[in-house]
Amino acid sequence: MSYTEALSTHTSQAANKTLRNTYGLLSLTLLFSAFTAGVSMAMNLPHPGLFITLVGFYGLLFLTHKCKNNSAGILCVFALTGFMGLTLGPILSLYLNMANGGSLIMSALGITGLSFLGLSAYALISKKDFSFLNGFVTVGFFVLIFAVIAGFFVQMPALQIFISAGFALFSAAIILLQTSQIVRGGETNYIMATVNLYVSLYNMFLSILSLLGMSSDD
C-alpha cells in the first residue's frame, strides 16, 4: 500500500469514528434536551428572557469550546443542551395553548427530522465539498442578526416570516457544511460537531414552528 493510499484509509477511518461519535452524542443530547423541556413544561417555568438566554447559551458555548479536547467537554455539551431544553419548554407550552398547537409541534418536529435526515444523507452519500457555503453562512449570519434587531422596532409579519425562513435556510446550510467537513476529515472534534448540529436543529425546529404558527388561523 502506498503512502497516499494509507493516508486516505487513515483519514476515512478517522472520519467514520468522528461521525459515529457525533451522531451518538447528538442523539443523547437531543433526548436530554427533550427531557429538560418536559421538566420545564411540567413545572410551568417562565421563559428566562432574551438576555439570560443569550448569556447562558454563549457562556456554556464558550465553556464547551474550552473543554472540547477532554472529557469535561461532554458534560459541557449536556449542560448547554439541557439549558436550551429549559428555554424551549415555555415556548412549547405557549403553542400547546393554541387549539391546534399539538399538531403544529408534531408537524415542526417531523419536518425538522426529515430535513436533517435528507441533508445528512445527501452530504454523506455525495461526499461533496460544501465549503463554498462558508460565505453564505457568514453573510447570512449578519443579515439575520440585523433582521432580528430590526424586528424589535418594526412589527411587520413579512419581516418575521423572512427571519424564520432565513434561520431555517441558515440551519440547513450549517448541517450540510458540518456533515461535509466530518466526512471529508476537516472536522475531527465530535464535541464541537455535535454542538453545531444541535444548535442547527434547535434553530430549524423553532423556525419551522414559527412559520407554521404564522400560517395557522390561530
Domain boundaries, given as residue ranges, for the chain: 3-215
33 and 194 Cβ atoms separated by less than 8 Å: no
Highest mean pLDDT among 4-8, 150-154, 157-161: 157-161
- 73-121 pLDDT per residue, tens: 999 999 999 999 999 999 999 999 888 888 999 999 999 999 999 999 9
The yes-or-no verdict on residue 11 having pLDDT over 70 is: no
129 and 184 Cβ atoms separated by less than 8 Å: yes
Average pLDDT in the chain:
87
* pTM greater than 0.85: yes
82 and 36 Cβ atoms separated by less than 8 Å: yes
Q: What is the pLDDT of residue 34?
A: 95
- 21-43 pLDDT per residue, tens: 999 999 999 999 999 999 999 99
pLDDT-derived band of residue 5, with 50, 70 and 90 as boundaries? very low
CA distances, 64 to each of 18, 31, 103, 214 (Å): 17, 19, 35, 35
Locus of grid cell 443579515: 143
- Which is it for the CA torsion 108, 64, 75, 88, positive or negative? negative
The yes-or-no verdict on residue 12 having pLDDT over 80 is: no
pLDDT-derived band of residue 127, with 50, 70 and 90 as boundaries? confident
CA distances, 51 to each of 47, 56, 58, 196, 202 (Å): 11, 8, 11, 21, 18
- 9: Cα separation from own chain's centroid: 30
Percent of the chain with pLDDT over 70: 93
57 and 49 Cβ atoms separated by less than 8 Å: no
The yes-or-no verdict on residue 9 having pLDDT over 60 is: no
Q: What is the pLDDT of residue 6?
A: 44
User: Cα separation of 88 and 95, whole Å?
Assistant: 11
